[in-house]
Amino acid sequence: MAKLYFYYASMNAGKSTRLLQADFNYRERGLHTMLWTAQVDTRAGHKAIESRIGLAADAERFDGATDFFGRVTAAHAARPIACVLIDEAQFLTPDQVWQCARIVDELGIPVLCHGLRTDFRGELFEGSAVLLGIADALVELKAVCFCGRKATMNLRVDDSGNAVQEGAQTEIGGNDRYVAVCRRHFSEALGHRNPWSGS
């Protein structure tokens, strides 16, 4: 039975590495796959999907208008696809997550989504919220905080290393960077300020 999988984690937990390993396992057996990643990261000279340990692969790019069901149906008709693998799945729209469910249910193709659970405020990404709701299998990939605990949160820090508390959910081309930390150190870095409280 094909399933809709959601492999979720914080930054630097090895999501892309795991995706590329799964892709390799299919291709090693002579099976065809279809790889996707978000349009947001288009740095020149880089493969579409790159893992921190050096693996890389090209992939189709999606944005909010991409018709996953139509594109996969057409590709599958031309050459049978054994598995669809999606990186940066937190950027899927709710409708696109449901299209992934149709790929599983109607075409019988497993869809492996990989993405962040929450943003720098600790709020669910839209795509991740729907995946957590309807995926057949939820698999947590683990990163480690500097204290040794499981890192479940993504702290956004500026040039000076200070925690960023406001701004767009996705910072593109900025100088901010992300650090995976445990919930305790996430909360401490934000001064125990509940992002929803407004205080």
**Chain residues in the site for Zn ion (CB under 5 A):** 145, 147, 149, 182, 185
Across the strands, what pairs with 163?
157
User: Which CB, 3 or 184, lies closer to Zn ion?
Assistant: 184
Find the shortest distance in angstroms from Cβ 147 to Zn ion.
3
Write down the least CB distance from residue 142 to Zn ion, Å: 13
Residue with Cβ nearer Zn ion (11 or 101): 11
Q: Which residues pair with 197 in a beta bridge?
A: none
Per-residue H/E/C for 132-194: HHHCCEEEECCEECCCCCEECEEEEECCCCCECCCCCCCCCCCCCEEEEECHHHHHHHCCCCC
Nearer to Zn ion, 12 or 93 (CB): 12
Rounded to a whole number of angstroms, the minimum distance from the CB of residue 88 to Zn ion is 25
Return the structure tokens found at 131.
């995946």
The answer to whether 88 is a known catalytic residue is yes
The CA distance from 198 to 119, in Å, is 17
Q: How many CB atoms lie within 10 A of CB 17?
A: 18
Query: How many angstroms separate the most distant Cα atoms in the chain?
Result: 56
CB of 182 to Zn ion, least distance (A): 3
> Exactly one of 28, 50, 60, 88 is catalytic; which is it?
88
**C-alpha to C-alpha distance for 174 and 147, rounded to whole angstroms:** 27
Q: Are the CB atoms for 149 and 42 separated by under 8 Å?
A: no
Q: With respect to Zn ion, which residue has the nearer C-beta, 74 or 147?
A: 147
Catalytic residue ranges = 88
